[in-house]
Structure 1
Amino acid sequence: MKKKILTGLLITLIIAVLSFFALVPPLVDNASNQLTSSPPQPATDKVKSLHQSLFIADLHSDSLLWGRNLSKGYQRGHMDLPRLREGGMALQAFSVVTKVPFGLNIQKNTGDSDMIFWLGLSQAWSPSALQSLLSRAERQAGMLHDIADSPANKFTLILNRKNLQDFIARRKTDKDALAGWLTLEGAQAMEGDLKNLDALYEAGFRMIAPTHFFDTELSGSAHGVNKGGLTALGKQWVKAMENKSMIIDLAHASAKTISDVLTMAKRPVIVSHTGVKGTCNNNRNLSDAQLKAIAANGGIVGIGFWSTAVCGHDAASIARAIKYTVNLIGVEHVAMGSDFDGAVATPFDVTRLDGLTEALMKAGLNERQIRRIMGENIRDFLLKNLPSA
């Protein structure tokens, strides 16, 4: 009898463990990355014609985090390779998240807790990836390398200008060709050691933010406790990034960090995903003065798609924020920074980017402006600022 009971308990435990690994990741993914409304109405022939002629690029997505095989199509989340093609995307930034605190908010967070540990556990990450933020970054980067290594995916991992030039030439004759580059959302993955920047570069990262939702060894976060500026290590990091022709991303950075970086930067920066206070006034978003300073630096601002960024739940709200920013600092400094799959709800997934093209047209932006915003600004920025080889 005792043996039967133990056997039954063991079987129950095995079923529970298998269910945990099979069911939890997609459930969390589905709950985290939703749509705020029904898809936009089908695009008109005029919109389709313009949209299909665009070179489309986006500055931010967190799709590597959720355990999906992005080579395959899914009904959950905001994007994967088949949906990128359907939406007309050419060039996508793939951001890597290594640590996020519980109780996440835009006001004040510490780095004392770690939601990503539990997400990684549910996806059966290795012990090293569960314990080390650097290993987490390398693991997610490896997923994108694996996608690029399969010829069937027609996907190029962009590491330098030559990669990008070759991809642009290929894209002209093959609209199924896709490309992406690796970005890191928070330099906590360096684990306080500047030498780890070399490891991140070798892993393929070409754009890094000094902070995410909490203050790091490098700088203050807009959502941290102290919200300070660059530390001594942070100033060394800025110089090291520029020496490697890596791009600094100021999304989530505190006001003091933004000011400190722009004061010492010798290369243009990016704010990959944000809103603007002029249309949505909260501490997640950039002020007019910050926007002007970033433009003076030669930088680009990616306007996000979620409600905290644009104070709305539709494409018109995104277009309103984009138009405001264009009018303030010029179209050359404005791009898309969707935050697809970033644990946010967006009005549409990547397949319906034509809804944003239509909203920009309705907002009064002309064809040249729309082409710049929807991707040409990002393309040209990377052609100038990625490592040469």
Structure 2
Amino acid sequence: MALKTSDVLELHQRWCIADSHADSLMWNRDLCERSSEGHVDFPRLREVGMKLQCFTIVTRGFPFIGGFEAFAVWRGWPREARESEWTRAVWQVDRLADFCRRSDGQVRITTTGRGLEENLAEGRLSAVLGIEGAHAIEGQVERVAELHQRGVRFMGLTHLSNNEAGGSSFPLMGNKPLSPLGQSVLEEMARVGMSVDVAHASERTLEDILAHPTARVFSSHTGVRGAGGGWRNLSDEVLRRIAERGGVVGIILAPVYLGGDAIDDVVRHIEHALGVMGEEGVGIGSDYDGMVALPKGIHDVTDLPKLTEALLRRHPEALVERILGGNFRRYFRETLGA
């Protein structure tokens, strides 16, 4: 029997729905206001029952000169925010803090596992901050601790191109390893308790990260190679190693990485990852607002129940609840800090 959307939304209200990747901050929309633009804002997140949303900070775009600067000008960023990669990062952190202050207590930047559980008990949305690429710290390792103090709880060492820390998985980047600076950044992240997002790491950089004995590792948005799709999808070996460390992989919704543009293609990647990692290793990492298309039938975050319905047709509620957020609830409860 087909589920009604109202039935699925009722489950969403009861479950800890979580998404590990949205690039909404770079678009300079007022996230307190419902918009017809983009994929995510606070009203739409609350409508769909989201309890934990990771907001990722982008400071450098595709690997051509001036690309992100031009984008920021187009989106109306103030001049002082555009001056450097560091000012771009700090401005976006401050923007989210301001949105949360204006949310009438409905959204809070969440920096501890206890805070996450308190928000769940009190009906607040937990906003978790991450950085796409260590180029944001501009070679100054001490800024890792400053970002952590400002509320950032994870960072990818690279993004869409190689940087001074290591190699990107983007095509024709040469599969570079972590640099000495990247090793220092990784060590400092482990020291302060900041998780490492491996979604954009080259294979050699990923191997160097996984070789670290104490780093907390996850992937905020990716497909899986064993289910087909794009160039930066993770291999089964890497999936197993992330699971062995207690990490979670957020399955991306972008067709370019799924090898198809249907909701069933998302399900295929989820099911492959489950078969490799087990029931505690798989979540959703949409890449909302990330300049990528979504599957047919998904316009924005409010269409997430369609994915839930597709999963419930094939799997028991308890497993679907884990995939839709329970696993990331566990991961961030363990890694956000005391």
> TM-score interval w.r.t. the shorter chain?
over 0.9
Residue aligned with 1:206, SS: strand
Instruction: Describe how 1:171-182 pairs up with structure 2 within 5 A.
Output: 171=123, 177-182=124-129
Q: What amino acid does structure 2 have at the position aligned with 1:334?
A: V
Match of 1:245 in 2: 193
Match of 1:74 in 2: 35
Q: TM-score, normalised by structure 2?
A: 0.94
Q: 1:213 aligns with which of 160, 165, 176?
A: 160
Residue aligned with 1:332, SS: coil
**Deviation for aligned residue 1:218:** 0.9
Deviations 1:62-110 (A, max 9, x none): 0111121010011121111111111111110000100112xxxxxxxxx
> In the alignment, is residue 386 of structure 1 matched against residue 297 of structure 2?
no
Instruction: Describe how 1:199-278 pairs up with structure 2 within 5 A.
Output: 199-223=146-170, 225-278=173-226
State the distance in 2 between where 1:43 and 1:66 align.
33
Match of 2:89 in 1: 137
State the distance in 1 between where 2:323 and 2:120 align.
17
Deviations 1:325-360 (A, max 9, x none): 101110101000000000011131111111011111
Moved more, 217-226 or 130-139: 217-226
Specify every segment of 5 or more residues in structure 1 that has no aligned partner in the other structure, as ranges: 1-40, 102-110, 172-176
**Deviation for aligned residue 1:54:** 1.8
Q: 1:330 aligns with which of 260, 267, 278?
A: 278
Q: 2:122 aligns with which of 145, 154, 170?
A: 170
Structure 2 CA distance for partners of 1:159 and 1:78, relative to 1, 3 Å = same
8 Å Cα contact 1:58/1:335 also seen in 2: yes
Instruction: Describe how 1:103-122 pairs up with structure 2 within 5 A.
Output: 111-122=63-74
**Deviation for aligned residue 1:268:** 2.8
8 Å Cα contact 1:262/1:297 also seen in 2: no
Number of residue pairs the alignment of both structures matches: 333
State the distance in 2 between where 1:316 and 1:73 align.
29
Q: What amino acid does structure 1 have at the position aligned with 2:310?
A: A
Match of 1:357 in 2: 308
**Deviation for aligned residue 1:297:** 1.9
Residue aligned with 1:270, SS: strand
Match of 1:86 in 2: 47
Residue aligned with 1:57, SS: strand
State the distance in 2 between where 1:257 and 1:249 align.
12
Specify every segment of 5 or more residues in structure 2 that has no aligned partner in the other structure, as ranges: none
Q: What amino acid does structure 1 have at the position aligned with 2:217?
A: V
**Deviation for aligned residue 1:44:** 4.8
8 Å Cα contact 1:43/1:355 also seen in 2: no
State the distance in 2 between where 1:199 and 1:128 align.
19
Q: TM-score, normalised by structure 1?
A: 0.82
Moved more, 51-60 or 350-359: 51-60
8 Å Cα contact 1:71/1:153 also seen in 2: no
Residue aligned with 1:313, SS: coil
Larger Rg: 1
Q: What is the aligned-residue RMSD (CA, Å)?
A: 1.8
Q: What amino acid does structure 1 have at the position aligned with 2:110?
A: I
Match of 2:102 in 1: 150
Residue aligned with 1:59, SS: strand
Q: 2:316 aligns with which of 351, 366, 373?
A: 366
State the distance in 2 between where 1:268 and 1:200 align.
17
Instruction: Describe how 1:276-291 pairs up with structure 2 within 5 A.
Output: 276-291=224-239
State the distance in 2 between where 1:44 and 1:164 align.
27
> Which aligned runs of 4 or more in structure 1 are off by greater than 6 angstroms?
none
Residue aligned with 2:187, SS: helix
8 Å Cα contact 1:133/1:191 also seen in 2: yes
